[in-house]
Amino acid sequence: MSDVMKKLNETVSFINAQINAKATVGVILGSGLGNFIDEVVIEKEINYKDIPHFPVSTVKGHSGKLILGSINGKKIWIMSGRFHFYEGYTPQQVTYPIRVLKLLGVEKLLLSNAAGSVNPNYEVGDLIIIKDHVSFFSANPLIGPNVEELGPRFPDMSEAYSKDIIKLAKSIAEKHQIKVQEGVYVAVTGPTFETRAEYQLIKVIGGDVVGMSTAQENIIAVHCGIKVFAMSVVTDIGIREDDNVITHEEVLIAAKGAEPKFSLLFRELAEALS
């Protein structure tokens, strides 16, 4: 057995010993989007720092807990707080929890993030369903020996974001009259926000939003056969012509503003998929 699998088995045994539950949907909450859990019944939570082989989150706005929650009786795994490459973790550490979720029984993963927009039709606070991504500007987490037990050496990425889940999300959004748009997410390493030239480049290569997470998690999930849905909350506009200073505080405030509609949509989606 590979070292990775040994570690994963230790992590999963630890979690199973604390929480004996079957849940097939996982949710990862992005910056400023932690309130999703306010209307979820918390059955059990474990701090990341107590989980063997889990990295520990360091960023403001990320609380760092693995939660077993339930929504109208449907159980889901929630990661409140995630790991980013810019914090100094390797791409393998960033994505370690995705494989843990897989071994815990997760089949569908809902990812969320705060992102900058380069699409002139988007405004701060808009919800963007990620229909595809460009991850050339961030390291591929599958570089290195392939973990054969989990998936193939050369995974197909033609449906990196599940068309079925996108359809379902759009129908839930329509029912609640929540405006959603679809776009391409460009993943960067951060921690700098982009220069004006970089935002322009992201637009030229077909991007709509840009952020510092999600794509690596998506790749690891697709590799091991998890269906992925992802949503960005637009927190800043990257291509404004005027003085365009972007701060982390602004990002968190914008995410907070969009949180109610985001949370409603994610809760209903998680419940419907469970």
Taking CB under 6 A as the rule, does residue 208 contact ligand HPA?
A: no
Contact in structure between 210 and 202 (CB atoms under 8 Å): yes
Segment 59-118, which members bind ligand HPA (CB under 6 A)?
114-116
Judged by CB under 6 A, the number of residues near ligand HPA is: 15
The CA radius of gyration of the chain, in Å to the nearest whole number, is 18
Q: Are 58 and 111 in contact (CB under 8 A)?
A: no
Cβ-based nearer residue to ligand HPA, 104 or 255? 255
Tokens for 204, please give them: 């030229």
Considering only 80-88, 150-158, 210-218, 258-266, which stretch makes contact with ligand HPA by CB under 6 A?
210-218
On the 0-12 / 13-18 / 19+ scale of CB atoms within 10 A, 73 is exposed
Among 26, 211, 230, 273, binds ligand HPA (CB under 6 A): 211
Q: Which stretch binds ligand HPA (CB under 6 A): 37-45, 50-58, 154-162, 190-198?
A: 190-198
Our finding on whether 210 is near ligand HPA (CB under 6 A) is: yes
Residue 194 interacting with ligand HPA (CB under 6 A): yes
Closest to ligand HPA by CB, 152 vs 191, is 191
Instruction: Please name which of 158, 167, 168, 146 lies closest in space to residue 224, comparing C-alpha atoms.
Output: 146
* 26 near ligand HPA (CB under 6 A): no
Kindly tell me which residue out of 246, 252, 264, 272 binds ligand HPA, with binding defined by CB under 6 A. Answer: 246
- Bridge partners, residue 42, by sequence: 69
Residue 251 engages ligand HPA in binding (rule: CB under 6 A) = yes
Cα separation, 204 vs 199, in Å, equals 9
**Residue 184 vs 188, nearer CB to ligand HPA:** 188
Residue 256: C-alpha distances to residues 125, 233, 249, 261, 263 (Å):
9, 10, 11, 10, 10
Nearer to ligand HPA, 127 or 210 (CB): 210
The C-alpha angle with vertex 1 and arms to 160 and 140, in degrees rounded to 5, equals: 30
- Footprint of ligand HPA (CB under 6 A): 114-116, 188, 190, 193-194, 210-212, 235-236, 238, 246, 251
